[in-house]
A = this chain, B = another copy of it.
Amino acid sequence: MDRSAIWQGVITADDEARYAAAGFGQPVGAGRRPALLVIDVQYRTVGTRPAPFFEAVKEFPTSCGAAGWAAVDNIGHVLRAFRQAGFPVLYPHVAPKLRTDAGRLGSKIPGIMDVPEAGYRFVEDVAPIEGDVLLPKKHPSAFFGTPLVSHLVDLGIDTLVITGCTTSGCVRASAVDAFAYNFRVVIPHDAVYDRSQTVHKVNLFDLAQKYADVVDTAEAVDLVHAMAGASAAAPVREQQ
């Protein structure tokens, strides 16, 4: 995959040259035991059916519209690879907002406090099943104020494949924390989504330069299969 195509039209050749001159953006590589994060893939972020952005936003102010539904298809491919391999799947997600949750979020984006309850349901196509880990969260990062690290230590995870939304919001915040914890982070660029293409592209560029291996869905699926094969050949660690 030509990575430059991902952020084409926004990131310039000069921008890329600067990061290259500074030596950023080397591949991290996958580890041995991955977990999948499906972040905030709830109807509030895609709408109850695909619609252009400015229409979708009328249903839920937090909706990314049709761009989200395209990513959901790709998340489905990655998810099936994880389920087939028996690798863990975790769902950090937004819990219905209470008055006491407002804080700075309520000041910055007041409309986010009033999303109807139906918006909080998981998108059916990629919804959790028995045995997955559900992590309600109040803040952008899937790690912030949640026991996510404890689950990852318990499961012996060294690699996180991150999908969902938004690229510039909860996905990026989670990837930065995952990187800081020294997990290997893989982000399929077409399985994450945002409300603006400019923002989506630049955030993928930032992630690729500093925090994660940015790939496409097909590459992510291959990676999961490869780790599953290696794991079958020499099991790293039985689950608890």
Contact = CB atoms under 8 A, between A and B. Distances in A.
Nearest to A25: B108
Interface stretch (A77-85, A141-149, A215-223, A224-232): A141-149
Contacts of A108: 24-26, 28, 179, 209-211
A121 to B, nearest CB: 19
By size class, the interface of chain A is: 35 or more
A199 B202 contact: yes
Contacts of A63: 22
A12 B198 contact: yes
Copies in the complex: 4
Interface in A16-39: 17-19, 21-29, 32
Contact of A180 (B25, B32, B106, B150): B150
B198 A109 contact: no
Given A102-B240, A147-B145, A202-B202, A107 B195 contact: no
Contacts of A109: 22-26, 210
B195 A57 contact: no
A7 B152 CA distance: 34
B156 A53 contact: no
A206 B168 contact: yes
8 contacts: A21-B54, A103-B151, A104-B154, A107-B240, A138-B147, A153-B182, A158-B237, A236-B236
